[in-house]
Structure 1
Amino acid sequence: MISFFKTFLYVFGTLFAVMNPIGAVPVFLSIVQQCKSREGIISLAKRTSVAVLITLTTFALVGEWIFKFFGSTIDAFAIAGGILLFRMAMEMLSGNLSTVKISHEEEEEAVTLSEIAIIPLAIPLISGLGSITAVMIPMAKNVDYSGKAAVILAIFVASFSVYLVLRSAEKVQQRLGRVGIRLITRMMGLILASMAVQLVINGVKGAFGL
């Protein structure tokens, strides 16, 4: 049971830092300007969180087969993923929304609200490469069903937290302001940087049998 909660807290903490839903609030609000009603914003937040849940759960479940198909080891993926997460962390520490997540072109591609919920909000703004890496590695490393269940639960709770933040995006921005959002983004970046470094260390240890 202790191992279950440790895995859950680690994956949820990493996911929340990587997805950084609070940092995504300004982007979300700029995209949903065409929503005329409160119900429309809530519906968009719900669709986005469901898309995040489906995306991350899918990659968590098929991650091991992806490793086998490309002949990659978990340790190699951990090193590469740690480097990617560290790059994102450095951009977050500067108070910016990571370009690894979303580009200006991707932000303008979606036409309808249904499409916006999936691209660019769910993918790649929230559940981008960093989030996918954050679920694939612990899912592959936990061989017992308890550990895998903890990862899936962490994905569900993190996705639900995305819904709660986005549906209250206007209140979040009003209370925190842009300065507050940038401050939280930097704090998340610091947490993510430490996790990324530890991921690389664990990958190197596993690869060289240290």
Structure 2
Amino acid sequence: MIVLKHLLYAYAALFAITNPIGAVPVFLSVTHGVSLRDRVRIAKKVMITVLLTLLTFALIGEWIFSFFGSSVDAFSIAGGILLFRMALDMLSGQISKVKISEEEAEEITLEDIAIIPLAIPLISGPGAITTVMLYMAKSPSVVEKSMVLLAVLLVSITTYLILLSADKVEKKLGKVGIKVLTRMMGLILASISVQMVINGIKGAFGV
């Protein structure tokens, strides 16, 4: 019973921080115009990237930061800058150059969209990475640590299922709705990116 509660707490915390539901408008905007088959492939790529990212930091996150002399705060600042650049393009109604460039082929573009910015840093960002590392550190037994890893898997699968439902949302919104939603999401992303940078600076300087 205690182990199950540990799993539920870890899953709830990760789901709230990764917020895959909040990623749906971004997913719709960056995949607008692509085929359903490609959209499913992008959703799978996002799921795999989120899973691998969170599992990696859960297992060796502290060692990675120590080895490269970096920190979660630095990751937060870098992720915030990337999102802000993307938000500016979305506010102007353009496809962000962070998501796609004119020189890239379609296949490469789709792969890039899935990894950056959807999976990283929008879903598996600094907050999710920090949460995973903290839960692993607070789990004394192997069984409890396994529950945290299982929570990561479940959140990744949940993200995939939520992104798959985005197609139905797009059909109801239409082209005009997508354009409006893109600009609205751009404003939200701008505020999120600024907050990520602020949090990173506060953490780095102990403010």
TM range (shorter): 0.5 to 0.7
- Contact 1:50-1:159 at 8 Å conserved across structures: yes
- Is the alpha carbon distance of 1:94 and 1:68 closer, same or farther for their aligned partners in structure 2, counting shifts above 3 Å? closer
Q: CA RMSD in A?
A: 4.1
The alpha-carbon deviation at position 183 of structure 1 amounts to 1.0
TM-score (norm 2): 0.63
Could you tell me which amino acid in structure 1 is paired with residue 101 of structure 2? H
CA contact under 8 A between 1:25 and 1:169: conserved in structure 2? yes
TM-score, normalisation: structure 1: 0.62
Counterpart position of 2:77: 83
Distance 1:3 1:22, change over 3 A: same
Preserved CA contact (<8 Å) 1:85 1:193? no
Instruction: Please point out which of 99, 107, 111 is paired with 1:110.
Output: 107
Q: CA separation of 1:105/1:41 partners in 2, compared to 1, >3 Å: closer, same or farther?
A: closer
Mapped to 2, the partners of 1:42 and 1:93 lie a distance apart of 21
Counterparts of 1:31 and 1:126 in 2: how far apart (Å)? Answer: 16
45-54 or 170-179, which deviates more? 45-54
SS at match of 1:30: coil
Matches within 5 A, 1:82-161: 82-91=76-85, 93-94=87-88, 96=90, 99-100=97-98, 102-104=99-101, 108=105, 110=107, 116=110, 119-129=111-121, 131-142=124-135, 143-145=137-139, 153=151, 156-157=154-155, 160-161=158-159
Equivalent position SS for 1:103: coil
Q: 1:47 aligns with which of 23, 44, 48?
A: 44
**What are structure 2's unaligned runs of at least 5 residues?**
none
User: How far, CA to CA, are the matches of 2:194 and 2:11 in structure 1?
Assistant: 19
The aligned amino acid for 1:138 is T
Aligned to 1:28: 31
Residue identity matched to 1:186 = L
Equivalences, count: 188
1:185 Cα deviation after fit: 3.9
Distance, in Å, in 2 between the alignment partners of 1:4 and 1:202 is 28
Shift in CA distance, 106/64, structure 1 to aligned 2, threshold 3 Å: farther
- Kindly tell me: are residues 105 and 156 of structure 1, through their superposed partners in 2, closer, same or farther at Cα, counting changes over 3 Å? farther
Alignment match of 1:172 (pick from 169, 172, 184): 169
Write the letter of the residue equivalent to 2:76. G
Unaligned runs of 5+ in 1: none
For 1:141 and 1:106, the matched residues in 2 are separated by 41
Equivalent residue, structure 2, for 1:193: 194
Over 3 Å counting, the alpha-carbon distance change for 1:105 and 1:98 in structure 2 is closer
